[in-house]
Amino acid sequence: GQNIDQPTEMTATEGAIVQINCTYQTSGFNGLFWYQQHAGEAPTFLSYNVLDGLEEKGRFSSFLSRSKGYSYLLLKELQMKDSASYLCAVNLDSWGKFQFGAGTQVVVTP
Amino acid sequence: ETGVTQSPTHLIKTRGQQVTLRCSSQSGHNTVSWYQQALGQGPQFIFQYYREEENGRGNFPPRFSGLQFPNYSSELNVNALELDDSALYLCASSTRQATNEKLFFGSGTQLSVL
């Protein structure tokens, strides 16, 4: 079966750093994606990794270890607008069939 | 905004009824995927349409069906609605021009089954 695990909720203060871990066990793997979803809105793409290592995009970075079935999303210099759910997703077949985790709700406090 | 539009935004139905949800993909996108997102959960893959044919299906019963039209817009139909079908239904479009392409999601249709 397919299994993607990530913490349910994380709280951090404005300006701090938060790391959201994601572990996966899936029948296929063609990339690990991270999406951000504000309440009542559509998920929006943040970052993805196909090969092992770190990808940096401004305040957001994502890391992948395929041998460990592990990824993390690092959010730096947290802002209030970063309060949202962060979804870890595995691309199962390269063409848009994704398996999503349940999401990690990040709460940024002043 | 992604350019993917869905209608209606909210819908209330009763158990046993049928529902049709609609999606217009982003300009230039020829592939549409549908996802179901229950409250507090991640999106679950329902199926994908490419060139007007179903191209991959998740673990959903046959009463979930769909169509894709020549202009790449799409419909999701659900027959014999059950209470557990209450969820946010998301449509996502992409182009299939490259592997590992990101999805562009619409804002979804919130379906409530009473």
pLDDT in tens, A50-70: 999 999 989 999 999 999 999
pLDDT at site B68: 96
| Residue (of A78, A40, A95) closest to B47 by Cα position | A95
Q: What is d(CA B16, CA B27) in angstroms, rounded to the nearest whole number?
A: 35
> Is there a contact between A43 and B40 if contact means CB atoms under 8 Å apart?
no
| Residue (of B9, B55, B64) closest to B36 by Cα position | B64
Q: How far is A12 from chain B (nearest CA, A)?
A: 20
Between these two residues, A106 and B98, which has the higher pLDDT value? A106
Q: B28's torsion region: left (phi>0), alpha (psi -120 to 50) or beta?
A: left
Q: Is B3's pLDDT higher than 90?
A: no
Q: How is B42-73 classified by DSSP, letter by letter?
A: --EEEEEEETTEEEEE-S--TTEEEEE-TTS-
Residue pair B83/B15 in contact by the 8 Å Cβ criterion: yes
> Is there a contact between B101 and A97 if contact means CB atoms under 8 Å apart?
no
Q: How far is A31 from chain B (nearest CA, A)?
A: 6
Enumerate the β-bridge partners of residue B18: none
Residue pair A56/A5 in contact by the 8 Å Cβ criterion: no
Residues of B at the A interface (Cβ-Cβ below 8 Å)?
A: 2, 4, 31, 33, 35, 40-45, 48, 50, 55-56, 58, 90, 92, 94, 96, 99-108
pLDDT at site B29: 86
Q: Is A4's pLDDT higher than 90?
A: yes
Beta-sheet pairing, A104-109 with A9-13: parallel
pLDDT at site A36: 97
Kindly report, residue by residue over B93-109, the tens digit of the pLDDT: 988 766 667 889 999 99
Kindly report, residue by residue over B25-53, the tens digit of the pLDDT: 988 888 999 999 999 899 999 999 998 99
Q: What is d(CA A26, CA A67) in angstroms, rounded to the nearest whole number?
A: 13
Q: Assess A7–B contact: CB distance below 8 Å, yes or no.
A: no
pLDDT at site B2: 62
The most distant pair of C-alpha atoms in chain B lies apart, rounded to whole Å, by 42
Name the residue among B42, B45, B108 with its Cβ closest to that of A97: B45
Name the residue among B41, B101, B106 with its Cβ closest to that of A96: B101
User: Both tokens of residue A21?
Assistant: 């871990």
pLDDT at site A94: 66
Give counts: helices (H), strands (E), chain A: 0, 11
Average pLDDT, chain A: 94
Q: Assess A96–B contact: CB distance below 8 Å, yes or no.
A: yes
- % chain B with pLDDT above 90: 78
> Is there a contact between B50 and A95 if contact means CB atoms under 8 Å apart?
yes
Q: A18's torsion region: left (phi>0), alpha (psi -120 to 50) or beta?
A: beta
Q: How far is A4 from chain B (nearest CA, A)?
A: 10
Q: Is A2's pLDDT higher than 90?
A: no
Q: Is B72's pLDDT higher than 80?
A: yes
In terms of Cβ atoms closer than 10 Å to its own Cβ (0-12, 13-18, 19+), residue B38 is middle
- % chain A with pLDDT above 70: 98
